[in-house]
Amino acid sequence: MNLIIQGFLWIFDPAHFVTTATGTGIPDALASHLVLTGVSLLVTIVIAVPLGLYIGHTGKGRLVGIVASNVSRAFPSLGIIAIFVVIFQPIFSQNTNFASAIVAFILLGIPPLLAGAYSGLEAVDRQTIDAARAIGMTEWQILTKVEIPLGARLIVGGFRSSTLQIIATVTIASLYGNPLSLGTFITNGLAQADYPQMIAGAILVIALALIIDGLLAIVQRFVVPRGVSRGTTKTRNTARGARLAANSGTPIMEGN
């Protein structure tokens, strides 16, 4: 029988919904995957967003922004993640060291988000910013009322890339035993020559990535302020969705 179908059958087998002595249940693996991703993302945001906005607004430390953009553009290749995971293998395989694993995810998550925040601000028309300053906006007002709204599409695009980056890396990290994630099914399936389980793991990861990316794509459309979406000039009364449809940015990340 087709392996893919077997994978789906494996997923829908009620026996795989609970964690037993012999195997992890899908909900537990999913929860762990989400917690790892979520916690890593939170820390990533706290570090990358202020830094990216600072660089984008002041133009200071632009080199960091440029390096981040280039690094994140290199990310889609699985090879880079693989090398990274190998480097961090000692950390991933330490059963107790949850925090260290998260550090690794954060390091991979920061560049795309930092690059997004930086390039989002960098892309705002200099004359618009100059005018905002000339009419008496404070630097903070310029940032929050002009630069962030106008750069929002790229900022969220960076967040999208970071999210996928981390989801993918969490999966691969399980190759080394820990931490628990949907990737665990792939690892276990491989180890036990249980191919339906392995395929099931792959399907679950892909589904998770697609769903989250889809949700973020919707968010990305809605953060684009009216008046700036491409081709608004004569489409004043077009329905919001229709106008924005042509305007969704694709994230740099295409892996997983």
Contacts with other proteins, residue ranges (CB under 8 A):
125, 127-128, 130-138, 141, 146, 149-150, 225-228, 232-234, 236
* Gyration radius of the chain's alpha carbons: 21
Query: To the nearest whole angstrom, how small is the minimum distance from the Cβ of residue 34 to other proteins?
Result: 34
Give start and end residues of each alpha helix (H) in 174-233. Answer: 183-191, 195-223
Rounded-to-integer distance, Cα 60 and Cα 66, Å: 12
Query: To the nearest whole angstrom, how small is the minimum distance from the Cβ of residue 219 to other proteins?
Result: 17
Nearer to other proteins, 58 or 128 (CB): 128
Nearer to other proteins, 141 or 192 (CB): 141
Nearer to other proteins, 20 or 236 (CB): 236
Rounded-to-integer distance, Cα 176 and Cα 187, Å: 8
Tokens, residue 83? 């090398």
Query: To the nearest whole angstrom, how small is the minimum distance from the Cβ of residue 113 to other proteins?
Result: 22
Query: To the nearest whole angstrom, how small is the minimum distance from the Cβ of residue 235 to other proteins?
Result: 9
For residue 64, CA distances in Å to 9, 26, 55, 60, 144 come to 47, 40, 8, 9, 22
Nearer to other proteins, 73 or 133 (CB): 133
First vs last Cα of the chain: how many Å apart?
26
